[in-house]
Each structure stands twice: as C-alpha cells, then as structure tokens.
Chain A
C-alpha cells in the first residue's frame, strides 16, 4: 500500500515537473470594477533575470470592445521594488483568451519606443497593480 502510494507520488512529481507545452497556463487575477477587463498571468513562466521580473499577461476585453479586439497578450518586465512595469510585446486577438486571428503584433521598444516607459501601478487603485502584487509576491 505504502509502496503504491509513493509510486503514485513519484510519477505525479515527474509528470508535473517535466511536462510542458508551447501553450500558456493562465491564472485569473482580477476583473475591473466596471467589468470591462479581466487580467490573467502565466504562473509557470514568471522569471527573475538581473534586476527585473518578467511575465506573460493576458487581457480579455469584456465590454466596450473596440476594433474587434477581444484579448491581448503582453510580455511584461517589472521592477518589484518600485512596482513599475513596462510592456515589451503586444499581440491582439479577435476572440477572448487569445483565440482567433491575430491582428497586430509588435515589440513595443522597436515599434513604439515612446510608449516603452516605466509606469508605476498602485496595487490599491489599479488592476495592473494587483497583477504586479501577485507576480512579485515571491521576489
């Protein structure tokens, strides 16, 4: 019985730590108060490199959808000491949860260098701040 139990635990551990795919595993963080936006991040690919923490974020636009953009994915770099962040990549999609066709994809410091600025997000007043709080909790 004990042997069987440990075998199951061992197999589960191997599977859980070695399985991977090229798709995201989104964790929902929050929805804005007016219900227009919900934010997710991928827990498995939050990495600290040098002085910054990098993570992928998915935004679903739930209301007031403009230009048929129902969701976007961004790779974001964050300074967890100052609660500042800036988006490195931007890709939009015609359906929620990054499904459907992709309309625009860009590397922001290349295409829109003026928008590649550090921005402070209050964890109390902004939903982006709540994502940073979650992302930075281990750093």
Chain B
C-alpha cells in the first residue's frame, strides 16, 4: 500500500512539475471544402493589455503546396472588433507541426506589409468563429 502511494506521488510530481510544456491542440473546425483543419491551444490564450494572444495550428489536408502540411502561428486578437494580427509563422513538412520546420519567421520583421489588422466574420469564416470562441474563454 505504501509503495502505491509512493509511486503515485513520484509520478504526479514528475508529471506536473518537470515536463516541458507541449501544445495541447483543440480542434475547432474543418473547412467546408476539407482543405484545412484549424486548431488552437486553450492554455496559450492569454489576455495582455487590450489584446488576447494565442497559438494556432492549421493542417493542410488537400492541394498541398511546397510540401507544407501544417503551420503553427502566434496570433493576437482585438476581441472588440474580431480583428487579428499574425505575429509568427512556422511551416512544417508533416501534419500537426511535426517534421522539418521550413519557413520560421516573425511576420512584422520579415513581411511588415502583411502585419496588419484583418477582420474575420464569425458567421461565415472558420477563423472568425474560432476567434469568437477564443474571446469567450474566461
């Protein structure tokens, strides 16, 4: 009995205190054309000043170009306007952010012209709906 308590305690300690944080992707939806599926990490949604910041992952399921099967990005949203800016962009040669990272950039540094507020309608875009969900988290 003591052994069970000891092993369980050690397991809990190791599991919750020493492992590195890994993404825990929540699937939001898949496009109607089934071209891509969209995920975000709930744990990463954080409110700082006027904005919320979060990590997202998209898997490209069809019409794969340049061997890019998935993309991970750190984005920010203004929840009052449903507008976002995409801060980082990293593409991968396998789904779910696995495989070799191909392009790995900070967008406002490399492509400042693309670092602008973009509105996504929550009713007719997947990303807009996902933003609504991200903004509703307490």
Chain A: residues with CB nearer than 8 A to chain B? 1-2, 5, 9, 12-13, 16-17, 20-24, 42-52, 54, 56, 73, 75, 77, 88-89, 91, 98, 102, 105, 107, 109-110, 113, 116, 138-139
B39 on the interface (CB 8 Å rule)? no
Bound complex: CA of A116 vs CA of B104, how far in Å? 16
Chain B: CB-nearest residue to A53: B20
Bound complex: CA of A40 vs CA of B16, how far in Å? 19
- Tell me the minimal C-beta distance from B80 to chain A in angstroms: 14
Within 8 Å CB of B137, what residues of A? 20-22
A13, A43, A52, A113: which contacts B21 (Cβ < 8 A)? A43
Q: Is the CB of A22 within 8 A of B115?
A: no
A13, A22, A110: which contacts B45 (Cβ < 8 A)? A22
8 Å CB interface, B54-102 against A:
55, 72, 74, 76, 85, 87-88, 90, 97, 101
**Residues of B within 8 A of A (CB-CB), count:** 43
Within 8 Å CB of B51, what residues of A? 105
Interchain pairs with CB closer than 8 A, number: 106
Chain B: residues with CB nearer than 8 A to chain A? 1, 4-5, 8, 12, 15-16, 19-24, 42-53, 55, 72, 74, 76, 85, 87-88, 90, 97, 101, 104, 106, 108-109, 112, 115, 137-138
Chain A: CB-nearest residue to B100: A50
- Tell me the minimal C-beta distance from B27 to chain A in angstroms: 15
A9, A23, A51, A116: which contacts B46 (Cβ < 8 A)? A23
Bound complex: CA of A49 vs CA of B55, how far in Å? 10
Within 8 Å CB of A77, what residues of B? 88, 106
Within 8 Å CB of B90, what residues of A? 49-50
Bound complex: CA of A17 vs CA of B26, how far in Å? 13
Chain A: CB-nearest residue to B44: A45
**Given A49-B90, A102-B50, A110-B115, A88 and B106 touching (CB < 8 A)?**
yes
